[in-house]
Chains A and B, each alone.
Chain A
Amino acid sequence: MTSRDLVLARLRAALAAAPPTVPDRATAAYRRHGDLPPGDPELLDLLARRLTDYRAEVHRVAASAVADTVTGILAAAGASVVVVPPGLPADWRPGDIEVVVDDDLPAARLARLDAVVTAAAVAVAETGTIVLDAAADQGRRVISLLPDLHVCVVRPGQVVATVPEGVARLTPGRPLTWISGPSATSDIELNRVEGVHGPRRLHVVVTDR
């Protein structure tokens, strides 16, 4: 008997001895949608408040001003080299700084870069969350992990109200990273402190279209 067969036989025996009763899922009608449609201005306000609560910095700008905004964030942080995914829209690329396009860069090199600029796949307003799905404008998971400053650009149509809406929009097979504020810990006296292993600063740029 293989361990696989053994474990499955044990579980079947356990259930056969006392068949379970399953509560009706219909009594558990949780909210599948918020009251506001994706991209509603009130949702963008909520997203900004929730992100700010967890020490992310939020910038609300015109779509045409993304590159200038990103350039300003990087300059203010003193960053000199920034990595971007290969599919980052050309008109989002910052100026006045050395831009490295990720081309399977080794981790040790990424760890020495100051900042990363990515797009996002989805943002959840109620929880202040952005989700990256490793599409071409977001890149490999590692590029948004090792540099200490992450600038993430979110379009209004990507912003949904609730977690169920966010989950429904995502593609399960892709590598997904849900990000709610900068790296933090609650391990010392159960109080949240920002800044452990992931990027210690998170800037979210929310565009107007």
Chain B
Amino acid sequence: MTETFLGMPATAPAGVGNLRGDEPFPVAARRALADAQLRRNLRHATGTIRAKSAAVIGEVPDWPELRAAGRAIKSDTMARLPELLEQLEAAVTAAGGTVHWAADAVEANRIVTDLIRAAGADRVMKVKSMATQEIGLNEALEAAGITPVETDLAELIVQLGRDRPSHILVPAIHRNRAEIREVFLREMPGVDPALSDEPAALAAAARRHLRETFLSTRVAVSGANFAVAETGTLAVVESEGNGRMCLTLPETLITVMGIEKVVPSWDDLAVFLQLLPRASTGERMNPYTSMWTGVTPGDGPQAFHLVLLDNGRSAVLADEVGRQALHCIRCSACLNVCPVYERTGGHAYGSVYPGPIGAVLSPQLTGVEENASLPYASSLCGACFDACPVMIDIPSVLVHLRARHVAERRAAHRTPSAEAVAMAAAAYTMDHPRLYAAAQRAAGLGRLAGRALPPPLNGWTASRDVPAAPPQTFRQWWAERRSES
């Protein structure tokens, strides 16, 4: 047990929210790999987005400088996060908004539930938001008798299909058009039974379905892509117009924002508004971006609440190597280029944050021991680092978290793991030349044993072949060479 003291960095509590899977990655991944339809859908979608993104990034002459600027701004932000949050709070309050602080998911859910009840509503419309998925807000609202309506198309597909999100940007990426049509026909009241599976027809069906909700719902809940500390301005980046509807039409707007989303100054938006759409949807600019500062009399919601969420972020900030995971702007470029994600899909990661960024973020938010398989859910090929618009060195953080996992397990358990025993044996052997020579000869004989190792070492060979040992060791070759000359 790790002791936590009041005021010391803390991980996200268990039993609430969606940061932990029910099973380790290898188990879930094996099942996902057996789903041929899933793999076809993912290959098609990620291939499409990679090509689009590469084309529009190629148009930008200063892309490397923009990435460096993105990293510098985020590093600067993390270095003075407490002060920037206080500055943001002051600016939002001065502009007529109310700021709430939530130490964890439980508190954030309670704050939002209380605000909705205080507004006298039993239904809220939602803009797609990773933070509210992370804390399990929908489940908490339903338990409190409040109906959350997801308005983003992909979120709607997931909600109607009683499915789970599998991608940061496109939660229904694992569904193709035919499957989406099936969900709509089954779950959307009053839908035209002759609905085709053309994407335009499916989008039109969602438009009809949600129109009345937008016009009649009095409270909306959103996330935020950016919050400017110096001005108190919030920004939501979107495509469909559901965001504009939720940010403009209701009487009360509640925004739940991870504390790492703050940026210091107004000009910083110029960097991220170039990086995000090109890395994310592969567009020069997404169709709609809304920015608001507190409350504007006569225009939009007249009550605005900002909920600042920690839920493990302080623990991430405490890790000198791992804290760069907080730089993430949720573009999903790393998912789209990842050979592991492309084959397993997002559900295998268990957390709402899948893919390479999820593999470094989720274990840090929960504590490595509670998402211990995720740092290993990578081949360390480095494609994610190359694709990241804010230059998060995901492979280095993965390696660092593997080391943390081993160290924490060693500290927690007296009995060493099979891996630790094997490594200790190898170290001893290599320290003793005669033993080492004997081991090498034995490895040569091992060629006859085939490509799998016996227990307890078969974990290594379950997904890998043992490389064939050469017929001769280096020492044997050297000895022969010298005797010949």
User: Among the listed stretches B21-29, B310-318, B368-376, B399-407, which one makes contact with chain A, having 4 or more residues with CB under 8 Å of it?
Assistant: B310-318
Is the pair B79, A20 in contact by a Cβ cutoff of 8 Å? Answer: yes
How near does chain A come to B313, taking the closest CB pair, in angstroms? 8
User: Among the listed stretches A62-70, A87-95, A151-159, A170-178, which one makes contact with chain B, having 4 or more residues with CB under 8 Å of it?
Assistant: A170-178
Q: Which partner residue on chain B sits nearest A165 by CB separation?
A: B270
Is the pair B244, A196 in contact by a Cβ cutoff of 8 Å? Answer: no
Q: What 1/0 flags go to A138-153 for Cβ under 8 Å of B?
A: 0011100100000000
A39 at the interface (CB under 8 A from B): no
| List of A residues within 8 angstroms of B157 by Cβ | 187
Q: Which of A13, A108, A164, A185 contacts B9 (CB 8 A)?
A: A13
User: Among the listed stretches B95-103, B425-433, B446-454, B476-484, which one makes contact with chain A, having 4 or more residues with CB under 8 Å of it?
Assistant: B95-103
Q: Which partner residue on chain B sits nearest A133 by CB separation?
A: B291
Is the pair A184, B239 in contact by a Cβ cutoff of 8 Å? Answer: yes
Is the pair A163, B273 in contact by a Cβ cutoff of 8 Å? Answer: yes
Is the pair B270, A167 in contact by a Cβ cutoff of 8 Å? Answer: yes
Q: Which of A145, A167, A188 contacts B153 (CB 8 A)?
A: A188
Is the pair B82, A172 in contact by a Cβ cutoff of 8 Å? Answer: no
Is the pair B200, A13 in contact by a Cβ cutoff of 8 Å? Answer: no
Q: What 1/0 flags go to B78-94 for Cβ under 8 Å of A?
A: 11011001100000000
Q: What 1/0 flags go to A1-33 for Cβ under 8 Å of B?
A: 111101111111111011111111101111100
Is the pair A187, B68 in contact by a Cβ cutoff of 8 Å? Answer: no
Q: Which of A8, A173, A175, A183 contacts B287 (CB 8 A)?
A: A183
**A189-B45 CB under 8 A given contacts A13-B318, A197-B210:** yes
**A167-B8 CB under 8 A given contacts A3-B107, A197-B214:** no
Compute how far the CA of A206 lies from the CA of B95 in the bound complex, rounded to whole angstroms: 34
Is the pair B8, A13 in contact by a Cβ cutoff of 8 Å? Answer: yes
User: Among the listed stretches B58-66, B346-354, B381-389, B456-464, which one makes contact with chain A, having 4 or more residues with CB under 8 Å of it?
Assistant: B58-66
B71 at the interface (CB under 8 A from A): yes
| List of A residues within 8 angstroms of B323 by Cβ | 14, 20
Compute how far the CA of A12 lies from the CA of B259 in the bound complex, rounded to whole angstroms: 13
Is the pair A140, B299 in contact by a Cβ cutoff of 8 Å? Answer: yes
- 8 Å CB contacts to A: which residues of B211-232? 211, 214-215, 228, 231
| List of B residues within 8 angstroms of A199 by Cβ | 241
Is the pair A184, B287 in contact by a Cβ cutoff of 8 Å? Answer: yes
**A167-B273 CB under 8 A given contacts A3-B107, A190-B45:** yes
Q: Which of A7, A140, A164 contacts B314 (CB 8 A)?
A: A7
B397 at the interface (CB under 8 A from A): no
B36 at the interface (CB under 8 A from A): no
B266 at the interface (CB under 8 A from A): yes
**How many Cβ-Cβ contacts under 8 Å join chain A to chain B?**
279
| List of B residues within 8 angstroms of A174 by Cβ | 293, 296
Compute how far the CA of A18 lies from the CA of B152 in the bound complex, rounded to whole angstroms: 39
Is the pair B215, A23 in contact by a Cβ cutoff of 8 Å? Answer: no
Q: Which partner residue on chain A sits nearest B50 by CB separation?
A: A190
A77 at the interface (CB under 8 A from B): no
| List of A residues within 8 angstroms of B180 by Cβ | 188
| List of A residues within 8 angstroms of B393 by Cβ | none
User: Among the listed stretches B141-149, B171-179, B186-194, B416-424, which one makes contact with chain A, having 4 or more residues with CB under 8 Å of it?
Assistant: B171-179
**A30-B271 CB under 8 A given contacts A145-B241, A197-B214:** yes
Is the pair A179, B287 in contact by a Cβ cutoff of 8 Å? Answer: yes
**A185-B267 CB under 8 A given contacts A108-B215, A172-B293, A196-B241:** no
- 25 CB contacts below 8 A, A to B, read A6-B101, A7-B85, A7-B102, A10-B10, A10-B310, A11-B9, A14-B9, A17-B318, A18-B320, A22-B72, A23-B75, A142-B299, A145-B241, A163-B274, A172-B233, A175-B291, A176-B292, A178-B289, A178-B291, A180-B284, A186-B169, A188-B202, A189-B199, A197-B214, A198-B244
Report B's interface with A, CB cutoff 8 A: 6-10, 41, 44-46, 48-49, 52, 61-62, 65-66, 68-73, 75-76, 78-79, 81-82, 85-86, 95, 101-103, 107, 151-154, 157, 169-170, 172-173, 176-177, 180, 199-200, 202-204, 206-207, 210-211, 214-215, 228, 231, 233, 239-242, 244-245, 248-249, 259, 266-267, 269-271, 273-274, 281, 283-293, 296, 298-300, 308, 310, 314-315, 317-320, 323
Additional pairs, 12, CB under 8 Å, beyond known A17-B318, A189-B41: A10-B8, A11-B310, A14-B315, A30-B69, A31-B61, A163-B274, A168-B267, A176-B292, A190-B48, A190-B281, A195-B204, A196-B239
